[in-house]
Chain A
Amino acid sequence: MTDSNIEFGDIHWLMDILQNIDVGLVVLDRQYNIQLWNGFMESHSGLSPQKAKGENLFDLFSEIPKDWFMKKAEPVYQLKTRTFTIWEQRPYLFRFKNYRPITGRASVMYQNTSIIPLESINRSVDHICVIIYDVTDIAVSREDVMSANQTLSEFNRTDQLTELTSRGYWLKELDREFLRCQRSVLPSTLVMFDLDDFRSINGHHGHQAGDQVLRSVSEGLRQTLRQTDQICRYGGEVFAALLVDTDEDEAVIFAERVRKMIERMEIKYGQQSIRATASLGIARYQKSFTTAQDWLQAADKALYHAKESGRNKTTVFQPKAH
């Protein structure tokens, strides 16, 4: 007598917990008709357990793709194993509003679900239970981190003034290309160049005007480039270009085009009209280079030579004869 009272009390509590627990619980039979619909589901869907019971899941919730859901649920019936879905696959199973409709940033509730087998007395699985977890906060913060990382990596990849590739990123590309060259027979060529007498442009016209020159030259470069060329602002008024699959002669054509483009350029800053020229140094990849640094140095040497021998010209690195 007392025993059965306690049992009845237990079940009563359990039902209360089932109703109030902040996790969605849905029991489905073999035909995907709803057999249990807890308080969480009622509150979020606006559908009472009386209305939901006996109804087919896919009829009531057209947002659940039948084929997709059955792929997850059938193994539970057949193999008696649990299966899972995560928000990365589908943001939600049931289209519910965010639990924080005012301050929450997502409009829907992101959900993870577990589907578990419910054994009947004869040990067959005629029912499954779908457990729905609200993972909106996790999903939103993950997506925040991802977009922050994305912005950060783009930020790191571009030079803020000229919007060319940043030096750091370009040097990594150079390392990669250097390794590729060691294995490949296709030539690659490096061009380093420097605006002539940039200090006097800054001195005469002011630093803002100098910045405008750098921006205009960069814009001109972007239009001269081929898609595979990698160009960066190496520092100050020095630029570097990595020309993949390009031999010396082709690089000279590229360099001369850049040199003439800059020479012809008339850069407006306010009322002022500024003209600039550039000196360029070219170095083709040589087997004798042991690091990417050697390659850079070779291009730098050629650039220095162009400067020394009168500026506004292109010089090609000549490796010492062995």
Chain B
Amino acid sequence: MTVTSTEVSLNEDQRDCYQELTNVAMGQAADRLARLLDVYVVLPIPKVNLIESSDLHMAIQDAETDSAMSAVCQGFIGSGIAGEALLLFNDTSFSDLAALMNYGGELDRYGELELLMDVSSLLIGACIQGIGEQLEIHFNQGHPVVLGQHCKVDDILKSGNHQWTKTLAIEIHYTIEHVNIDCDLLLLFTEDSVGKLNNKINYLLD
């Protein structure tokens, strides 16, 4: 298969539609989290943007160099639409996270890994599922990778697959009331997925 480089573009209607789609998915996700964890998740308006690969590199680089930051990424694919969910924890207190998740173990490196995995399973899973349901796509998810624990940013970004220049990013900023938890969920779609995704969206717009 030869992929001719197609210009990735996004018009205002499509942007609104992605935003609405994500809103609904997040609403569902928040509802589930509320039921499971008994917390109120603050829902902001998701940001839908076309981003450059250098922007992403910088975002992940921060996660790597700043020890106060952690990141988890997980690939997903379905109906020819592929992407990665990236969950970046900014300045999140692990003890608050532990309280939220009813985690009683010690908060050493392994304890933190447990928490990152549990929280990311919930946030990423709920959001991808919500979007998939609306678009009638069944997404398969790969195993999550915790960045900065076992791998270096450069290893991930230089692996050759990153010849894209611009791609669609949906950014959701999660905060949870009364606790010091603040994280960004980035849904990144591959360049060649954006066209297919736009087709699906156009169908919803009609």
**Shortest Cβ distance from residue A87 to the other chain B in the assembled complex, whole angstroms:** 9
**Shortest Cβ distance from residue B71 to the other chain A in the assembled complex, whole angstroms:** 14
A143 to B189, CA, bound (A): 31
B144, A86: Cβ atoms closer than 8 Å: yes
Is A7 in the interface zone, CB < 8 Å from B? no
**Shortest Cβ distance from residue B118 to the other chain A in the assembled complex, whole angstroms:** 6
Q: Which of B35, B122, B141, B150 contacts A88 (CB 8 A)?
A: B150
**Shortest Cβ distance from residue B50 to the other chain A in the assembled complex, whole angstroms:** 28
A80, B129: Cβ atoms closer than 8 Å: yes
Is A114 in the interface zone, CB < 8 Å from B? yes
**Shortest Cβ distance from residue A91 to the other chain B in the assembled complex, whole angstroms:** 11
Q: Which of A220-249 contact B (CB under 8 A)?
A: none
Q: Are A75 and B122 also in contact (CB < 8 A) when A80-B129, A86-B143, A88-B146 are?
A: yes
Count residues of A near B (Cβ-Cβ below 8 Å). Answer: 20
A103 to B32, CA, bound (A): 47
Q: Are A78 and B35 also in contact (CB < 8 A) when A83-B125, A84-B117, A88-B150 are?
A: yes
B143, A79: Cβ atoms closer than 8 Å: no
A74 to B74, CA, bound (A): 21
Count residues of B near A (Cβ-Cβ below 8 Å). Answer: 23
Q: Are A72 and B129 also in contact (CB < 8 A) when A88-B113, A146-B150 are?
A: no
A84, B141: Cβ atoms closer than 8 Å: yes
Q: Are A142 and B150 also in contact (CB < 8 A) when A78-B36, A81-B125 are?
A: yes
The closest CB in chain A to the CB of B74 belongs to A84
CB neighbours (8 Å) of B125 from chain A are: 79, 81-83
B36, A75: Cβ atoms closer than 8 Å: yes
CB neighbours (8 Å) of A114 from chain B are: 141, 143
Complex A-B: 27 CB contacts under 8 Å: A71-B118, A72-B118, A74-B36, A75-B122, A78-B36, A79-B32, A79-B125, A81-B125, A82-B121, A83-B125, A84-B74, A84-B143, A84-B144, A85-B117, A86-B117, A86-B143, A86-B144, A86-B145, A86-B146, A88-B113, A88-B149, A88-B150, A89-B110, A89-B113, A89-B114, A89-B117, A146-B150
